[in-house]
Amino acid sequence: MSDVTEREFERLLRVRARQKARKPEFLRTLWWKFPKFKNDPKWRKPKGIDNPMRLRLKGRPPVVDVGYRSPAAVRGLHPTGLEPVTVASARELEKLDPAKHIIYIASSVGLRKRLELVKIARSKGFRVANA
**Does a structural domain hold residue 13?**
yes
Using DSSP, state whether 98 is helix, strand or coil. coil
Other beta carbons within 10 angstroms of residue 73's beta carbon come to: 16
**Does a structural domain hold residue 75?**
no
Pairing mode, if any, of strands 101-105 and 127-128? parallel
pLDDT of residue 126: 96
Query: Total structural domains in the chain?
Result: 2
Q: Are residues 56 and 28 in the same domain?
A: yes
DSSP 21-63: HHPPPP--TTTTT-HHHHS---------TT-TTTTT-TTSPP-
CB within 8 Å of 97: residues ≥ 6 apart: none
Give the domain extent around 96.
Answer: 83-128
Separation CA 4–CA 73 (nearest Å): 7
pLDDT of residue 125: 96
Q: Are residues 15 and 62 in the same domain?
A: yes
pLDDT of residue 115: 96
pLDDT of residue 89: 95
Low-confidence residues in the chain, pLDDT < 50: none
- Pick the last residue of a domain from 70, 103, 118: 70
pLDDT of residue 2: 62
pLDDT of residue 40: 83
